[in-house]
């Protein structure tokens, strides 16, 4: 693998197989040397260094980037030897573990990497790669030296307890670690709450319960206080479970630990029920959420088809990304219309939602609408007072699109069919929102009549609180074990996740710099439109703009946005 050109600029080198840093005197701080870096030119184009963001601070450079032949790019993760070059190494205790004695080649080759894109043209560059996850032959911690801690942050998600259990049991069963703390109440628990001791026995059956035994919270991130607590308690491995905001906080913790020169490994396990974490194939809890959403959709379908002109509206999670709504719709086959944040829609006029509702009710006599919580927010802002507020994690507080859409269908739908109906009565609004409003009472006998019966179902918190299903339980195990192997091998400042079915260590900046979204010009969204037979609600200009936004770079081709299932290989 060749290094960056321009000899005057030193290259940041990763740890060698013997555990020492190669030419440690050549290591340099990319952040302080940015102004003097002359970027290389490849294929006539200047190479841009990726930027990550520190929580509440200025942009930061991603860590080590190395180049190889054929357009190969490795976005590597930090290693303890980058700033502690003289650390000793020890044989991996897994080599004496009878459970793994049957594995022919259990240890991962140090040069193994995982390609971000696996569909390429004949002459395409090899593209971006990440370091493959898994156990190494040499580790940088002795078993009795490890003092680990686990913290869960942000909202609830199926599988949190499973990840906690597998980290504790994995550390104990594979590496003989016995000192493991649970940090209660999210980030603020480091300095404002008690800790609990976690053992393999105490976490044995927690995977059967929803939520998190450690408790969670939003916000509360104070980098200096957190690192002070880590240092005072003698903790040297930190496992942080949370979404993109939590991973930004983990990145800030890593930077402060690196600045202080502490031998502490920071490992992130990405958590978001919305499946909107960038780079990785999917996040844990997503399969469970899609499966559980079927219950709400089935209930809405039963209610809708049991009455004349019945409409079932189901609101699912999806603040900025509509993956749950899309996959739940595809899995159900009972949904007539799916609305997601990535695909704008309009109510009135030719080709609008109200016209489609009228046509579908005439054809089938009932319909089911699935709407992601972040869909149609631009329409809500126009018709209601804007709410420019954020929660403790920095997420914008969204208006309830489900209630709003239900009201619009019940009222504006009749306006659309027979102009002249207006809502002025406050008591009438209460009846609409409580589902006791009978439309035909508000139309004179000489006008066109169409009564509708609408049922609105919001299963959000029911879905978040359930235990993970079998598929997610296996996935959580792989995530936890990969994180453990990475921390024991001395890697730090990384997030773990499957990339094209292979688990890899990903720099924090890559999973926090952007949000993964449904690409409405991809085949998966086309499959949904084909399944529901709904209009796209997009003009020709919308489609062209979407295609321009999703044009692939020279390194990669657009993928199909299928949620990949890990094959279990790490």
The number of residues in the chain equals: 570
% the chain with pLDDT above 90? 57
**388 given a catalytic annotation:** no
Give the C-alpha separation, 200 to 166, whole Å.
9
pLDDT at 547: 60
Instruction: Tell me: is residue 317 an annotated ligand-binding position.
Output: yes
∠157-478-141 over CA atoms, to 5°?
Answer: 110
Answer whether residue 59 shows pLDDT above 60. no
Instruction: Tell me: is residue 488 an annotated ligand-binding position.
Output: no
pLDDT interval class at 352 (50, 70, 90): confident
Answer whether residue 195 shows pLDDT above 50. yes
From the CB of residue 19, how many other CB atoms can be counted at a distance below 10 Å? 20
Q: For strand 72-75 and strand 337-339, is the pairing parallel, antiparallel, or unpaired?
A: unpaired
Instruction: Tell me: is residue 464 an annotated ligand-binding position.
Output: yes
Instruction: Write out pLDDT tens, residues 476-486.
Output: 999 999 999 99
**What is the average pLDDT across 59-70?**
75
Instruction: Tell me: is residue 472 an annotated ligand-binding position.
Output: no
∠105-111-112 over CA atoms, to 5°?
Answer: 60
From the CB of residue 231, how many other CB atoms can be counted at a distance below 10 Å? 15
Give the CA count within 13 Å in the CB-facing half-sphere of 509.
19
pLDDT interval class at 516 (50, 70, 90): very high
More confident residue, 379 or 442: 379
Instruction: Tell me: is residue 272 an annotated ligand-binding position.
Output: yes
pLDDT at 389: 54
DSSP string, 150-164: EEE-SS--TTHHHHH
Answer whether residue 431 shows pLDDT above 80. no
Give the C-alpha separation, 251 to 54, whole Å.
7
CB 440 within 8 A of CB 469: no
Answer whether residue 1 shows pLDDT above 50. no
Strand partners, 52: 60
Of 60-69, 164-173, 346-355, where does the model show the most confidence? 164-173
Answer whether residue 396 shows pLDDT above 60. no
Answer whether residue 519 shows pLDDT above 70. yes
In degrees and rounded to multiples of 5, residue 140 shows phi and psi of -110, 10
pLDDT at 149: 97
pLDDT at 63: 65
Q: Domains in the chain and their CATH numbers?
A: 286-386+395-441+448-465+521-547 (3.40.50.460)
DSSP label at 518? Answer: -
Instruction: Tell me: is residue 461 an annotated ligand-binding position.
Output: yes
The model carries a pTM of: 0.77
Give the C-alpha separation, 44 to 65, whole Å.
19
pLDDT at 21: 38
3-class SS at 191?
helix
Q: Of residues 274, 287, 412, 472, which has the active-site annotation? A: 274
Answer whether residue 447 shows pLDDT above 60. no
Site of tokens 């979404």: 243
Q: List CB contacts of 18: < 8 A, sequence separation 6 or more.
A: 89, 138
In degrees and rounded to multiples of 5, residue 418 shows phi and psi of -145, 90
DSSP string, 44-87: TEEPPPPEEE-TTS-EEE-S-EEEEGGGEEEE---BGGGT-TT-
Of 117-126, 236-245, 385-394, where does the model show the most confidence? 236-245
Rounded mean pLDDT of the chain? 79
pLDDT at 99: 83
Instruction: Tell me: is residue 564 an annotated ligand-binding position.
Output: no
Helices (H) and strands (E) in the chain — how many of each? 16, 21
Give the C-alpha separation, 140 to 205, whole Å.
31
pLDDT at 310: 93
Instruction: Tell me: is residue 246 an annotated ligand-binding position.
Output: yes
Answer whether residue 367 shows pLDDT above 80. yes
3-class SS at 197?
strand
pLDDT at 7: 37
CB 184 within 8 A of CB 195: yes
Answer whether residue 36 shows pLDDT above 60. no
Answer whether residue 430 shows pLDDT above 50. no
% the chain with pLDDT above 70? 71
pLDDT interval class at 238 (50, 70, 90): very high
Distances from the Cα of 392 to the Cα of 1, 316, 535, angstroms? 44, 22, 37
More confident residue, 448 or 286: 286
Instruction: Write out pLDDT tens, residues 65-106.
Output: 999 998 999 999 999 999 999 999 999 999 888 888 777 788
Instruction: Tell me: is residue 215 an annotated ligand-binding position.
Output: no
């Amino acid at each position: 693998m060749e290094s960056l050109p321009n000899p005057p600029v030193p290259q940041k080198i990763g740890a060698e197989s013997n555990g020492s840093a190669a030419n440690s005197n050549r290591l340099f701080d990319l952040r302080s040397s940015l102004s003097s870096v002359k970027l290389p030119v490849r294929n006539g184009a200047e190479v841009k260094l990726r930027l990550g963001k520190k929580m509440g601070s200025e942009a930061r450079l991603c860590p080590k980037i190395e180049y190889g032949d054929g357009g190969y790019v490795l976005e590597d993760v930090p290693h303890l030897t980058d700033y502690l070059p003289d650390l000793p190494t020890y044989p991996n205790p897994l080599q004496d573990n009878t459970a793994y004695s049957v594995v022919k080649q259990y240890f991962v080759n140090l040069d193994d990497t995982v390609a971000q894109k696996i569909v390429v043209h004949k002459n395409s560059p090899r593209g971006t790669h990440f370091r493959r996850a898994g156990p190494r032959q040499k580790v940088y911690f002795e078993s009795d030296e490890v003092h680990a801690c686990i913290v869960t942050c942000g909202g609830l998600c199926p599988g949190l307890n499973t990840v906690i259990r597998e980290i504790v049991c994995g550390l104990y069963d594979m590496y003989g670690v016995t000192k493991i703390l649970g940090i209660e109440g999210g980030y603020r628990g480091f300095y404002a709450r008690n800790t609990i001791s976690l053992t393999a026995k105490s976490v044995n059956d927690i995977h059967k319960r929803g939520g998190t035994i450690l408790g969670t919270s939003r916000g509360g991130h104070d980098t200096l206080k957190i690192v002070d607590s880590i240092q005072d308690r003698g903790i040297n491995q930190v496992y942080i479970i949370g979404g993109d905001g939590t991973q930004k906080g983990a990145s800030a913790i890593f930077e402060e630990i690196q600045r202080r020169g502490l031998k502490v490994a920071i490992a992130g396990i990405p958590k978001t029920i919305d499946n909107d974490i960038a780079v990785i194939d999917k996040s844990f809890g997503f399969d469970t959420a899609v499966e559980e959403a079927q219950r709400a959709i089935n209930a809405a379908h039963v209610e809708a088809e049991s009455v004349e002109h019945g409409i079932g509206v189901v609101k699912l999670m999806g603040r900025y990304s509509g993956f749950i709504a899309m996959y739940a719709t595809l899995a159900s086959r009972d949904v007539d219309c799916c609305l997601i944040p990535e695909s704008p829609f309009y109510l009135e006029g030719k080709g609008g939602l109200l016209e489609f509702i009228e046509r579908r009710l005439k054809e089938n006599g009932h319909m089911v609408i699935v709407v992601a919580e972040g869909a149609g927010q631009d329409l809500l802002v126009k018709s209601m007072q804007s709410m420019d507020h954020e929660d403790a994690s920095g997420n914008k507080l969204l208006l309830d699109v489900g209630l709003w859409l239900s009201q619009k269908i019940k009222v504006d739908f009749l306006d659309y069919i027979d102009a002249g109906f207006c809502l002025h009565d406050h008591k009438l609004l209460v009846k609409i929102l409580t589902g006791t409003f009978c439309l035909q009472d508000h139309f004179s006998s000489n006008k066109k009549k169409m009564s509708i019966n609408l049922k609105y179902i919001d299963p959000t918190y029911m879905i978040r609180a359930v235990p993970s299903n079998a598929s997610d339980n296996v996935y959580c195990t792989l995530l936890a074990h990969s994180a453990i192997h990475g921390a024991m091998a001395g890697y730090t400042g990384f997030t773990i996740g499957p990339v094209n079915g292979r688990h890899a260590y990903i720099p924090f900046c890559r999973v926090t710099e952007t949000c993964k979204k449904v690409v409405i010009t991809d085949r998966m969204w086309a499959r949904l439109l084909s399944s529901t037979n709904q209009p796209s609600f997009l003009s020709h200009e919308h489609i062209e703009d979407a295609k321009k936004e999703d044009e692939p770079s020279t390194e990669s081709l657009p993928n199909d946005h299928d949620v990949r299932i890990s094959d279990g290989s790490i």
